[in-house]
Amino acid sequence: MAAQRTAEATWEGDLLTGAGKVRFAGGAIPEVAVTWASRTEAPGGKTSPEELLAGAHAACFSMAFSNQLATNKTPAKRLDVKATATFDKVPEGWRVTTIDLTVKGTVPGIDAAKFAQLAEAAKQGCPISQALKNNVQVRLTATLV
């Protein structure tokens, strides 16, 4: 059965001086404020679509990598994943150009080469990575600790 998740946004005013709010139907995330300035300058206690995308990608990749490691019979004790989405003005307009995934993992019984191989497989198989494929460059740095 397909799972559906819902978020809603409200925006008031023009792009540069207006403001909006994003609400998440699941209830786990409180309503968050968004502005153009929080997107292109300092966050100032607000979020941006790119930060939300980075959060989604970090969570998705951590699950995919956890599964790769468990399937390899080397389950992780801990994975710390950071995703950084870059929002930049390019000749075609504003775009998410890259997402840098960084993972540091404590995984008994595995060597660094296998860790990196499974991390790459997780990056390729992660549904958020798949949604970005051929549109956003996803780079990965994997470190076994």
Return the CATH architecture of domain 49-144: 2-Layer Sandwich (3.30)
Distance from C-alpha of 77 to C-alpha of 61, rounded to nearest angstrom: 16
Compute, in degrees rounded to 10, the torsion defined by CA atoms 108, 110, 116, 120. -90
For residue 108, count other CB atoms closer than 10 A to its CB.
8
Mean pLDDT of 27-55: 95
Mean pLDDT of 120-141: 97
Which of 117, 30, 38 has the alpha carbon at shortest distance from 71?
Answer: 117
Distance from C-alpha of 79 to C-alpha of 131, rounded to nearest angstrom: 22
pLDDT by residue (tens digit) across 47-89? 999 999 999 999 999 999 999 999 999 999 999 999 999 999 9
Mean pLDDT of 80-105: 97
- Beta-carbon contacts of residue 42 (< 8 Å; ≥ 6 apart): none
Distance from C-alpha of 16 to C-alpha of 35, rounded to nearest angstrom: 8
Confidence class of residue 143 from pLDDT cuts 50, 70 and 90? Answer: very high
Determine the pLDDT at residue 5.
93
Determine the pLDDT at residue 91.
96
Dmax (CA) for the chain in angstroms is 56
pTM of the model: 0.95
In the chain, domain spans: 7-40, 49-144
Confidence class of residue 1 from pLDDT cuts 50, 70 and 90? Answer: confident
- Beta-carbon contacts of residue 11 (< 8 Å; ≥ 6 apart): 18, 19, 20
